[in-house]
Each structure stands twice: as structure tokens, then as C-alpha cells.
Amino acid sequence: MKKILMTYSDSMERPNDEYGGCGYIRIAQPAKHLAKYFDVHHTAKITDGNETPEVVWGRVFTTYDLMLVEHCDNPVALCQLFGARDFYGSKVIIELDDNFFNVDPLSPSYQYYYPGSDVEHFTKMSLGWANSLIVSTEKLKEIYSPYNDNIFVCPNQIDPEVWEGYKPKQFDDGKIRLGWYGSITHESDFMEIIDVLKAILKKYPNVIFKCMGAESEMFYDLPKEQFEFCVGTGTFREFPGRLAGMGFDIGIAPLKQSTFNQCKSAVKYLEYSMYKIPCVATKGKQLPYARLIHHGKDGFLCNKFADWMSALSRLIESEELRRKIGESAYNNVLAQRDIRKNVVLWADTIDATLTMPLKAPSVSTIIQPEEKRIVVARG
């Protein structure tokens, strides 16, 4: 059985066995279900920091047949990774879940991922050096196709086993809880419907807007008695339980129309649906929710103020409609995005990469101590 190492890069200050949302969905979750095809190990840290690079990479590429790496743009790490890959004659797959070349200028990440940045430069170099790429959408494949001929689409999935251990909280106070969660990077997305939210809260005094994640100034003038904020989780492991405890009756998923968002996945819909929470999402041309939601059957797609008001009003006023849409959404997600059935996409990608011929040496690393920098050149 081939041995595969999968690493995620969103560890921040988390312990070695923890991960954020991207690390879970794109690395830890598929790794769990790939165990029936390969001998798989996944981690955030391949060393404790007390080993030399030669020892670390020697151990990695003499132990594993292939390394699958979440997006990396650190030039030193890239030099070591691909230099060792070439020396040991191994294979490397790079996984990408976002469009790093079209980040919204309003996003806090733009300070790193702007056109012409070092991050963009090293990302492009790494894409060409990799044996293959895994992306989550066809649009991402299109964006990255100039840099690598071997790109495989493995859409984001859901693992029902992770969510089955929690029961969504139910309140008996006559209030309807309209929910959303997200980090500060999604602020510009929510700005698209802030006027809708204000109008809904004014129209329905019994509606409470519950937000989990990052606070925003746009929420400051909402009626205090109709707004509840909850901090996000530090790791994905805590997230399913936290979401269940929020007691959302309706979930919303607004998105700004942009090239960046066209490359995204309908993750909120997948996660809301595990708890049978009916979802109202942005319709928008080429945006991800239209690829999964059947409007009016297992969710609602809206792109105008009146559309949002109508869909939300119908759900607020009808418990039976909420139940019906939520149940259909659950069945829709299980039919289309169950990782237990679809992990074969990842297995096929790894198998295909393992059988590819070795790439020509990709990098040469020249250490210039007097300038304290590393020069990376195409080999």
C-alpha cells in the first residue's frame, strides 16, 4: 500500500493535531476516508524544529511515496520541498481552495495577495513545480491552468459522521433565529444584504439575527434586542457543536459578485444542511450556490432586494416550509457531496500522480549569507 503524507498550512498557533476549516475540509477529512486506498498520515508540522532541513526532508521522502501539500508561498519552504522532491525522485501535489490571484481589495488578505506581490510570484512558481494540482472548483482549474497541465477537480464534500453526534438546539420562545457565520474576510459579502437584514428585523420584531465569527461595524446599528453575537471557534473540531448550539432556524449565505467568489464553494450550504437549516443564498452568475441549490426546492437563490425579502419572509412565516426545505437540503447534500462516496476522486488523483513520469529538476537554491537571502531559479 502506497504511503501518503498530507499537510495543511492553516495551523496558526493550534496544536499539531488541530486545524481550521480549510485544513479540515481539504486535508484532514479526505485523509480519513483515503485510508481504505492508501497508508495516509496528515499533520500540520513535519518537524518539531530541532532537526536540520536535510534530516526532515530525507525522512519525509524516504518514508512516503507522495506528499500532498496545502497551498504554500514561503520561498524557503518551497526550495526545500521541491529540491528534496527532485533529489529523492518523489511526487508532490499542491492543493488550492481559493483564487489567490484575484483577492478582493477590501479583504484583509489583500495586503499579502495583491497583484505583483512576492506571495503571488512564489505561488505561481510552486504551481509549475508541482507534479499536479488539486482544486475545489472548475473555475479554479481554469484560473490555474496556465501554470500546470495536471489539474484535478475534487469538490468540497461533507462527512455526515462528524455532524451526527450533535442535535441542533431548539428554542421555545416564539423567536425566529436568522443566522450567519464567517470571518472578517467575508465582510464585503455581507455588505451586499445589510439593508435586507435591517428591513427584515424591522418587519418582524420576533426575528433575532445571530452572528458567529467576526464582529463588524455594519452590525452596530442593528436593534440590540434583535442581535446576538458569538465568537468563532479556534479549531474546526469545535465548530459542528458550536453551530448546533446556535439554534439557527434559517441560514443565509450572501456573496459579492467577483472573480474570487466565482471560484469558491458552497460550504455554508453544505454545513447548514447537515442540521436541516434552510438556506437563502446569493444567486449571482457563476457563484457557487447556484451549482447546488434547486431554487424553491432545497434552498432559495436571490440576487435582488425584493428576492431576499420574499424568500426570508416566506421562511419566517412558515415553520412547515422551513422543515420541508431543510429536509430536502439535507437529502440533496448527502446525494451530491458525501465524502464517503466521493473520496474516490481524491484517490484517483493520487493514483494518477503516482504514475506520472518524474519532473525535470525544478529548483536550484543559492544561499547568499552576506545578503541573507535565498535566490530561487528555474532549473
Average pLDDT score over residue span 138-151: 97
Query: Grid cell 467577483 — which residue?
Result: 258
Cα separation, 274 vs 240, in Å, equals: 9
Cα separation, 156 vs 135, in Å, equals: 9
Sign of the CA dihedral 363, 364, 365, 370?
negative
pLDDT of 369 over the 60 cut: no
Average pLDDT score over residue span 49-64: 89
- Give yes or no: residues 37 and 59 share one domain: yes
* Residue 132, SS3 per DSSP: strand
On average, the pLDDT of the chain sits at: 90
- Give yes or no: residues 172 and 127 share one domain: no
User: What percent of the chain is predicted at pLDDT more than 90?
Assistant: 71
pLDDT at position 72: 86
In this structure, the number of other CB atoms found within 10 A of the CB of residue 248 comes to 24
Cα separation, 93 vs 91, in Å, equals: 7
- Give yes or no: residues 303 and 223 share one domain: yes
Average pLDDT score over residue span 161-181: 95
Cα separation, 13 vs 20, in Å, equals: 11
- Contact between 277 and 328 under an 8 Å Cβ cutoff? The reply is no
Cα separation, 16 vs 142, in Å, equals: 33
Q: What is the CATH number of the domain that holds 250?
A: 3.40.50.2000
pLDDT at position 62: 95
pLDDT at position 362: 67
Length of the chain as a residue count:
379
Contacts of 132 (CB under 8 A, 6+ apart): 93, 94, 148, 150, 151, 152, 349, 352, 353, 356
Average pLDDT score over residue span 306-320: 98
Cα dihedral 295→309→191→252 (10° resolution): -50
Average pLDDT score over residue span 157-186: 92
Q: How confident is the model at residue 186 (pLDDT cuts 50, 70, 90)?
A: confident
At 40, the amino acid letter reads: V
Average pLDDT score over residue span 338-345: 98
pLDDT of 173 over the 50 cut: yes
pLDDT of 254 over the 60 cut: yes
- Give yes or no: residues 184 and 209 share one domain: yes
pLDDT tens track for 208-236: 999 998 777 888 899 999 999 988 887 88
Cell representation of residue 260: 474570487
Cα separation, 189 vs 313, in Å, equals: 21
* Residue 341, SS3 per DSSP: helix
pLDDT at position 107: 83
- Give yes or no: residues 136 and 190 share one domain: no
- Give yes or no: residues 118 and 246 share one domain: no
* Residue 25, SS3 per DSSP: helix
Domain that holds residue 271: 161-337
Cα separation, 21 vs 68, in Å, equals: 17
Cα separation, 297 vs 327, in Å, equals: 10
Q: How confident is the model at residue 364 (pLDDT cuts 50, 70, 90)?
A: low
Cα separation, 251 vs 45, in Å, equals: 35
Q: How far is CA 366 from CA 229, 373, 375, in A?
A: 51, 9, 5
- Contact between 366 and 375 under an 8 Å Cβ cutoff? The reply is yes
Cα dihedral 113→116→120→124 (10° resolution): 160
- Give yes or no: residues 146 and 193 share one domain: no
Cell representation of residue 99: 483564487
With CA atoms as reference, report the closest residue to 171 among 249, 266, 252, 58.
Answer: 249
pLDDT tens track for 269-294: 999 999 999 999 999 878 999 999 99
With CA atoms as reference, report the closest residue to 331 among 301, 281, 293, 295.
Answer: 293
pLDDT at position 143: 97
- Give yes or no: residues 120 and 172 share one domain: no
Q: What is the CATH number of the domain that holds 359?
A: 3.40.50
- Give yes or no: residues 208 and 273 share one domain: yes
DSSP of 63-85, one letter per residue? H-SEEEEE----HHHHHHHHHHH
Cα separation, 156 vs 137, in Å, equals: 8
Q: How far is CA 20 from the centre of its chain?
A: 9
Cell representation of residue 133: 494540482
Q: Domain tally for the chain? A: 2
Average pLDDT score over residue span 89-118: 92
- Give yes or no: residues 183 and 326 share one domain: yes
Determine which helix (DSSP H) or strand (DSSP E) holds 162, and give its type and residue range. helix 160-163
Cα separation, 312 vs 308, in Å, equals: 6
- Give yes or no: residues 317 and 282 share one domain: yes
- Give yes or no: residues 61 and 132 share one domain: yes
Angle at 203 (CA atoms; ends 197, 206), nearest 5 degrees: 90
